[in-house]
Chains A and B, each alone.
Chain A
């Protein structure tokens, strides 16, 4: 597997859920939304090369997904006659939806990369509990809570930041060793 494709895969893993969620906002049928998501990513892959930046890819994937959804709605409108009258979305709506989907996907990813007690701690953090409250609830020491948060933080850095290849290497090390 080439490095380009590795980075593409990493990008895909990072953004799939958000883009799919974004498509579902427009296209209510899950199957069709998935088709559109995959089509959009494949179009991205077709133009993916070494000069392509992650920023280019982020803009491309959302604009393409939006266009494919709009095309679908327009096409379906003619197939079902007057089922759908009009579709109008503002830029603000699109950008707000991108924030919503990306934030939720990042939160999910952050939690899913943690295991057992670590994810418990973060779950309680998200409920707004203080370190002491978390320590009490999980019957662990205050220092352990702090340590777990520090651990989780370094893990999350890779999700929050744009360090695609690093995360991918961590997650696919065994797979990489087998395939190189």
Chain B
């Protein structure tokens, strides 16, 4: 992205030079070459060339703005001072933001021309909700659904109108394992016998003992889950996900095995150690780091990341930070329980930034995407077909 921004600023200058008639022959050739190679930018080129009014509508001059900047921020002082003033400014901005209401009531879309989108039947496609299946040691399956409350086998309770499965500490058999499975379009929360909480995203399976033994706590995960682990210094907590073993020292973090057949672990707070099956040593992770392993437990990378997009699903939204359309649709397919088919595979690589509410219908999101980059979509039953 960085290099692309620099290139596009250069192109903008060439367009300006062309528009003012002051472009050199070499520059003109460069601009033509660009428009040839990246035809998707021809529209903006022709728009600028055709513009009658280039005065812009910005009333603030750069000079005034510079003085404004100097008055707001101590640009000439030492850096320590900046922080506090910036906090004040942020507060002011926040207060200002509170007063700004009632704008743009529906979709917040840029260049939202909804032309050409047929009305489609979305009846079959609904956002997910709280639902899961609990499998007992004897193979019996209990459907956990929203609205239902009660006791399960005298060892667990369904709480918060059926959204949380809560194990009573100390009651039950250590050798018994329960399996909690969310389907596509489901999510569920379980509070384990030690008080640790696990939030399961769609199509996720968690296997855990009804009561943890006295030496260690160990659970198995496939899919995506967010963990809030109760700290216990003498009884470590392990999460085993495909080829990765995570040692937890009391903390919150997100583990996802859905993407690219890899295991992605993001630490929100506290400290964890991760060891892939192919690694000799445990790597200790800091908050804000994302660690990726292959399914067989080879370390791919450790990098700093913005934590929020990874855990936003728990807060009722999906946040995407320069994610490909393919990856976005994979997340949505799990949550809305749909199949996605790309008629034109090249559109898979379009990248998006933004956020969508996950308890809304999917057509808002599809309309938003189609209006931005001219992608069309068709819905047939539970299949979404995306095309140019």
Chain A residues proximal to chain B, CB less than 8 Å: 1, 5, 9, 12-13, 16-18, 20-21, 24-26, 28-29, 31-32, 34-39, 41-42, 45-46, 55-56, 58-59, 62-63, 66, 70, 72-77, 79-80, 83-96, 98-108, 110-111, 122, 125-126, 149, 152-153, 156, 159-161
Contact = CB atoms under 8 A, between A and B. Distances in A.
B33 interface: no
B82 interface: yes
Contacts of B17: 106, 156, 160
A16 B62 contact: yes
B20 A122 contact: yes
A21 B351 CA distance: 22
B3 to A, nearest CB: 8
B106 A80 contact: no
B72 interface: yes
Among A93, A103, A108, A159, the one with the most B-chain Cβ atoms within 10 Å of its Cβ is A103
Given A21-B56, A99-B11, A85 B106 contact: yes
7 smallest CB-CB distances across A and B, nearest first, come from: A102-B12, A106-B16, A88-B354, A125-B21, A59-B2, A103-B12, A86-B356
B58 A21 contact: yes
B41 A87 contact: no
Given A34-B65, A104-B54, A153-B22, A90 B48 contact: no
Interface string B262-284: 00000000000000000000000
Given A83-B105, A159-B16, A32 B96 contact: yes
**Chain A interface main SS type:** helix
Nearest to A31: B96
B108 A86 contact: yes
Nearest to B367: A86
B44 A80 contact: no
Contacts of B22: 110, 122, 125, 149, 152-153, 156, 160
Interface in B331-378: 350-357, 360, 364-365, 368-369, 372-373
Given A86-B107, A91-B350, A126 B21 contact: yes
B221 interface: no
Contact of A55 (B6, B58, B60, B360): B6
A35 to B, nearest CB: 5
Given A63-B5, A89-B353, A9 B66 contact: yes
Nearest to A150: B22
A80 B211 CA distance: 44
Interface stretch (B73-81, B137-145, B246-254): B73-81
**Chain B interface main SS type:** helix
B250 to A, nearest CB: 29
B373 A92 contact: yes
B135 to A, nearest CB: 36
B123 interface: no
B314 interface: no
B21 A149 contact: yes
A66 B56 contact: no
A164 to B, nearest CB: 12
A100 B98 CA distance: 30
Nearest to B23: A160
A98 B100 CA distance: 26
B100 A29 contact: yes
A93 B372 contact: yes
Interface in B189-233: none
A73 B93 CA distance: 13
A88 B48 contact: no
Contacts of A94: 353
Nearest to B2: A59
Among B93, B98, B322, B369, the one with the most A-chain Cβ atoms within 10 Å of its Cβ is B93
A99 B15 contact: yes
Contacts of B16: 102-104, 106-107, 110, 159-160
Contact of A34 (B11, B41, B60): B60
Contact of A100 (B27, B48, B66, B101): B48
